[in-house]
Amino acid sequence: MDYGKFEDVARRAALEAGARIMEIYQAEDFEVRVKSDQSPVTEADEAADELIRRILTAAFPDMLVVTEEQAASHARSARNFIIVDPLDGTKEFIRRRGDFTVNIALVENGVPVRGTVYAPARGRLFYTRADGSSVEESGAFDAAGAGQLRPIRVSRPDNAALVVVASKSHRDQATDDYIARYAVRDMTSAGSSLKFCLVASGEADLYPRLGRTMEWDTAAGDALVRGAGGRVVRLDDHTPLTYGKPGYENPFFIVYAPGVELLADA
């Protein structure tokens, strides 16, 4: 894979999809349906999916592209593939909260090695460079070329005063019980893959997820955290989260800055 090309193409696809999502988000009304798994889907999910798939398949015609909204892609497998959530945080989108993202990741041999996360309503764009390092871009977000880039790194955590981020829409008692076992200085909540970005940028030390997720929800954020010096591991045995699993479903996991003293799964 030409990582420089992937960086450019994924960035452009995310920005163009984000622009289309925002057109629908800012409309007076938009269509919402319920999928077979009882999760919501909007016309923005479907429009962004079509746009991203078109850009990626044109640039990388020999690469498997797995997307949340294309069920046929879920039955296929490959060692190396691109995985996409065209609109992560659909519930936040429907509630007009703004915490939704476009996620695009490259997976090689079970590892998310490059990722792009764009939060169009928040004006935040994160991605891994060709060398694997993670950055946040600021500026006008011109699809033709990058603006100012800021390298991001995970925090140096203080285990007596951790900053923890958790889900807005999927918070439950099990998550609260797990967090309560740590010495927490501050708690914040965020939707979609923004939680990964907050750890990658050093704005939070720890993000535990004790709930169902799919690989398209996590791969791009996982790549960003890795590129910023952080880790994403399974909750049960603290081994790295892997990708390309049958059905693309994740186990419970923890995202953290090295130095956080992880507690055993209780």
Tens digits of per-residue pLDDT, 152-167? 999 999 999 999 999 8
Residue 91 — pLDDT band, cuts 50, 70, 90?
Answer: confident
Structure confidence at residue 235 (pLDDT): 96
Q: What is d(CA 182, CA 175) in angstroms, rounded to the nearest whole number?
A: 12
Task: Inform me whether the pLDDT recorded for 143 exceeds 60.
Answer: yes
Contact 260, 155 (CB under 8 A): no
Structure confidence at residue 144 (pLDDT): 87
CA distances, 66 to each of 77, 85, 129, 253 (Å)? 9, 9, 22, 21
CA distances, 18 to each of 56, 120, 161, 259, 265 (Å)? 15, 5, 36, 35, 37
Query: How far is Cα of residue 36 from the mean position of the Cα atoms in its chain?
Result: 23
Structure confidence at residue 39 (pLDDT): 77
Task: Inform me whether the pLDDT recorded for 243 exceeds 60.
Answer: yes
pLDDT in tens, 8-31: 999 999 999 999 999 999 987 787
pLDDT in tens, 191-227: 889 999 999 999 999 999 999 999 999 999 999 999 9
Q: What is d(CA 197, CA 208) in angstroms, rounded to the nearest whole number?
A: 14
What's the mean pLDDT in 231-238? Answer: 97
Task: Inform me whether the pLDDT recorded for 72 exceeds 90.
Answer: no
CA distances, 226 to each of 71, 188, 233 (Å)? 28, 21, 11
Structure confidence at residue 266 (pLDDT): 57
Locate all alpha helices (DSSP H) within the chain, ordered by sequence: 3-25, 43-59, 71-74, 90-94, 173-179, 194-200, 215-227
What's the mean pLDDT in 227-253? Answer: 96
Residue 122 — pLDDT band, cuts 50, 70, 90?
Answer: very high
CA atoms within 13 A on the CB side of 228: 36
Q: What's the chain's average pLDDT?
A: 93
Locate all alpha helices (DSSP H) within 26-126, ordered by sequence: 43-59, 71-74, 90-94
Task: Inform me whether the pLDDT recorded for 132 exceeds 90.
Answer: yes
Residue 36 — pLDDT band, cuts 50, 70, 90?
Answer: low
Domains identified in the chain and CATH numbers: 3-151 (3.30.540.10), 162-256 (3.40.190.80)
What's the mean pLDDT in 183-193? Answer: 92
CA distances, 61 to each of 77, 83, 170, 173, 263 (Å)? 16, 14, 36, 44, 44
Structure confidence at residue 29 (pLDDT): 79
Question: What percentage of the chain exceeds 70 in pLDDT?
Answer: 97
